[in-house]
Chain A
Amino acid sequence: MGSILGAGYSPDSRVYDEFVDASGTPRPHYQELYRILNTLGSEEVWRRQQVANLLLRDQGITFAVQGDPEGLERVFPLDLIPRIIPYHEWSVLEQGVKQRVVALNLFLQDLYHEQRILRDRVVPPELIYSSPHFRREMVGLNPPGGVYVHVAGIDLLREPSGQFVVVEDNLRTPSGISYVLENRAVMITVFPELFRHCPVRYGRDYADRLLEVLQHAAPANRDEPVVVLLTPGVYNSAYFEHAFLAREMGVELVEGRDLVVRDDYVYMRTTRGLKRVDVIYRRVDDDFLDPLVFRGDSLLGAAGLFHAYLRGNVGLANAPGTGVADDKAVYSYVPAIIRYYLGEEPVLPNVETFVLCGTKERAHVFQRPEAYVFKPTNQSGGYGLVLGPAASRDELEKLREQVEENPRGWVAQPVVQMSTHPTLVDGRLVPRRVDLRPYALYGESVTVIPGGLTRVALPDGCMVVNSSQGGGSKDTWVLASPRLPTARLERVA
């Protein structure tokens, strides 16, 4: 083991390490990176990490933690050691993510129309009707192009065998893409050596692609559709991303109070009068979109918005009601969903999941709760998650009560021993758990953004990677060709 990894770099042997194999040798696609890091030396690498930290802080690449009394903004840490995915692995991931997004979209279309999959008993109807995110208001509505999920984030983990598995789908308002883009910019500034020898395709085009997808969602006959990004406002945890994307796309960042609906058309209030809005990229939950239809106490949406949508006078991305398809209980049926609509086997497997509204499943899981991760079916950001192996007896007892009280609200999955990656902590490289969230855009067809967000759990031994729980991120590289495993690393996007 060379100097950069240090004699102390010893990943858990039961776990897949992204960088080194079982014998401690850097994998082929990491060898070039390894060489460069060694040349620089650990002191220099650590110094650059400090520079990167300052850059992030100065540029305000932050997020807000819900309910944090201390401060409004926290920097989302970027670890300088990039995560590299070889060509053939990415091809599989891309295929798998595409397949999933297409199938889930067809599923949504079906759920809100004939519901054939329910009649054919492939998915239990009661699971759908008991999902808080199934929106009856959407039944019969035909979104432009039949697209419900314009932006998706699929969470993946790598098992000890090296196989990637899907842990979660995010189909409502997935976030994180702004960190992917800003991380890359910081990496280029701080670590130019890594990019020197490669034909870097300067890939800021996520914003362009997203804009294209959004324009595609416009009502027909609108020549130059006016797109806006609807944000809950500055106190929202993802506000930085909302402002970032609006700026990159060149669209107006609006809050609910900037919108007014007249005669079922949506307008924004400008200093030159009312201006018609054609598409809303809404980063506001369904519940808060329209006080006339959903939560009546919401100030974040606009009254009449949903009716304008029903009439086809405005596009919404993502469509309301997609949450029924990323409900964690429904997740366990996704392989069946893929088979049903596409007639294909799933390219990416699910994690075994126990839907706890079944008494048998509950009994089974609670025989050994310390071996499972318990997830609320309809939360995001890692909130409410209970990690069996890390929980005390009391916590597990409390959890059991919660599950008995609301069995439909919980699922359990065996703990996935997710992969590790060298991460800079106090000047040294130590193994830390990572996940991967590729993003998919659905316009005329589905495109998957190469790489995506690699999140890393920063505390020692921690397996929860969410930013709200103290996680950080890494730049993610996808190799462009199978024939260039080492000497030329090309970042895609």
Chain B
Amino acid sequence: MTLLTRVADSLLWTGRYLERAENLTRALRVTLHASHESGGREREDLARWNTLLEISGEREGFLTTRGEITGERVLEFLTLATDHPSSVRACVRRARENALAVRDRLSRELWEELNRLYWLLEEAGRGRGEGAGSLPAPGALRECENRFQLLQGLAETTVLRDDGWSFLRCGLLLERALQSVRVARAYVRSEPGAPGGSGSRRADALHWITLLKSCSAYEAYRKTYATFIRPEKALELLVGEERFPRSVRFCVAGLVRELSRIVGPAPETSPYRQVLRLAGRLESHLVYTEAAELFRPDPAAGLSDLAGELGRIGGAFARAALALPGVEPEAVPG
């Protein structure tokens, strides 16, 4: 069945924004929980809020518009704010905008559920008075996370498995991999011993547990490695474990599968062959590189490289949507 490249692009971004919003919601919930669990020590908490801002990529924007970093302000900033694109509410808005343009490609159940989530967040945002710094109700983050998971389930079980589905899935997987990398890197940068970290040895274990929980990886870690949490093993799980659904390797393998379907039997004519090449290369890299090698020269640098590769894949998708046969998409520097 025909699929316009514009529609494919919208499906990709619907997936990406939904995944982004879900990850952020989980990271927020887990971080808040960790803060309560450890008794709310100011220095530790500050490190936590910084980590959240780092994950969202909006630390600069926050400092400019909100000033001092407090838990309340960060929470409002990352859930209901609309003056920047990386809050949960802003992501859902964009997801819905994209989905609106391709409504026919989604199942009715998925669309209606997305619409309901949109209105939930809009009403929460308006009712609370934007920027007033008021918090969402305690169970709200959990509720929100559940809604996202409902959407994932609906996508999985009600959308016809055609090319449109492949693009939606690519969006989900690409963003999922990227989020795992970003979360891991933020935690690596803010680890207790590091500058900007809380400086507390006691906080070590909790720090890495929080990382794992932010990626729904805590139980998976326990099952895979048993005993206590070691940072290098946590990173291995999140990046290279082939059985863990949120690992970069797992997601990229899924991307390769979907892209193979998209490119179809005549790859030379597909606008997406370049994307498949990049994804395939990254998959090989993750499969055949030893864990220690992946994090050379240091974990933060290794993770940044991965983020870069994933970013290149995203860029290749965008260029494919604009490319014309006979005109090679321009190479993107770096």
Residues of A within 8 A of B (CB): 234, 243, 247, 252-255, 257-258, 260, 268-275
Interface size in chain B (residues, C-beta < 8 A): 21
Asked if residues A270 and B104 are in contact (CB atoms below 8 Å), the reply is no
Q: Which residues of B line the A interface, CB within 8 A?
A: 2-6, 8, 100-101, 103-104, 163, 167, 262, 264, 266, 269-272, 324-325
Query: What's the Cα separation between A254 and B271 when bound, in Å?
Result: 19
CB-based A-B contact count at 8 angstroms: 48
* B5 contacts across to A, CB distance below 8 A: 258, 269-271
Interchain nearest-CB distance for A429 vs B (Å): 34
A401 to chain B minimum Cβ distance, whole angstroms, is 43
A247 to B1 Cα, complex, angstroms: 13
A1 and B263 alpha carbons, distance in the complex (Å): 70
Distance in Å: Cβ of A163 to nearest Cβ of chain B? 44
For the complex, give the distance between the alpha carbons of A268 and B264 in Å: 18
**Bound-complex Cα distance A268 to B271 (A):** 13
| A-B residue pairs in contact (CB < 8 Å), sample of 8 | A252-B4, A255-B6, A268-B2, A268-B4, A270-B2, A271-B167, A273-B271, A275-B2
A257 to B167 alpha-carbon distance, docked (Å): 20
Do B4 and A269 have beta carbons less than 8 Å apart? yes
Q: Which of B262, B266, B271 has most A Cβ within 10 Å?
A: B271
Q: When the two chains form the complex, which single residue of B6, B270, B324 contacts A272, counting CB atoms closer than 8 Å? A: B270
Select from chain A the residue with minimum beta-carbon distance to B324: A260
Q: Among B167, B262, B266, B324, which residue has the most Cβ atoms of chain A within 10 A?
A: B324
A273 interface neighbour in B6, B8, B167, B269, Cβ under 8 Å: B269
Flag if A243 contacts B104 (CB, 8 Å).
yes
Cα distance, A255 to B167, chains bound together (Å): 20
Nearest residue (CB) in A for B163 is A271
Complex formed: what's the CA distance from A247 to B103 in Å?
A: 11
- With both chains docked as a complex, state the minimum distance between the C-beta of A235 and any C-beta of chain B, in angstroms: 11
When the two chains form their complex, are residues A270 and B100 in contact, meaning their CB atoms are under 8 A apart?
A: no
Candidate in A258, A271, A272 with the most chain B CB atoms within 10 angstroms? A271
Which of these, B4, B103, B167, contacts A270 with CB under 8 Å? B4
| Contacting pair B6 A257 (CB below 8 A) | yes
Residues of A within 8 A of B2 (CB): 252, 268, 270, 272, 275
Knowing A234-B100, A243-B103, the reply to whether A272 touches B264 (Cβ < 8 A) is yes
A158-B324 Cα distance, complex, nearest whole Å: 54
Nearest 9 A-B pairs (CB), nearest first?
A: A271-B3, A269-B5, A273-B269, A258-B4, A271-B8, A270-B2, A258-B6, A252-B2, A273-B325
**CB < 8 Å: which of A255, A271, A275 contacts B262?**
A271
Is A271 a contact of B100 with CB atoms below 8 Å? no
Bound-state Cα–Cα, A273 to B262, Å: 11
Measured between beta carbons, the chain A residues less than 8 angstroms from B100 are 234
Q: Is the CB of B104 within 8 A of A247?
A: yes
Tell me which residues across on chain B come within 8 A of A270, comparing CB atoms: 2-5
**Alpha-carbon gap, A260 to B324, bound state (A):** 9
B269 is contacted by which of A253, A255, A272 (Cβ under 8 Å)? A272
- The interface residues of chain B lying within 8 Å CB-to-CB of A253 are 104
B6: chain A residues at CB < 8 Å are 255, 257-258, 269
**Shortest beta-carbon distance from A261 to chain B in Å:** 11
Chain B residues within 8 Å of A272, by CB: 2-3, 264, 266, 269-270
Bound-complex Cα distance A185 to B311 (A): 47
Chain B residues contacting A268 (CB-CB under 8 Å) are: 2, 4
Distance (whole angstroms) from the CB of A73 to the closest CB of chain B: 10
- CA–CA, A243 and B102, complex, Å: 10
A149 to B325, CA, bound (A): 35
Q: How far is the CA of A243 from the CA of B104 in the complex (A)?
A: 9
Residues of A within 8 A of B4 (CB): 252, 254, 258, 268-271
Closest A residue, CB atoms, query B262? A271
Docked Cα-Cα span, A234 to B98, in Å, equals: 11
- Tell which of B2, B6, B324 has the most Cβ of chain A within 10 Å: B2
CA distance A252 to B164 in the complex (A): 14
* Contact indicator A271/B272 (Cβ below 8 Å): yes
- Closest CB in chain A relative to B93 CB, distance in Å: 13
Report the bound CA distance from A314 to B255 in whole Å.
38
Starting from the known contacts A257-B6, A271-B262, A272-B264, 17 additional A-B residue pairs (CB-CB under 8 Å) come to A243-B103, A243-B104, A252-B2, A254-B4, A255-B6, A258-B4, A258-B6, A268-B2, A269-B4, A270-B2, A271-B3, A271-B163, A271-B271, A272-B3, A272-B266, A272-B270, A273-B269
Nearest CB on A from B171, distance (A) = 14
Q: How far is the CB of A286 from chain B (nearest CB, A)?
A: 24
Tell me, rounded to whole Å, the shortest Cβ–Cβ distance linking A120 to chain B.
Answer: 49
Shortest distance between the CB of B323 and any CB in chain A (Å): 9
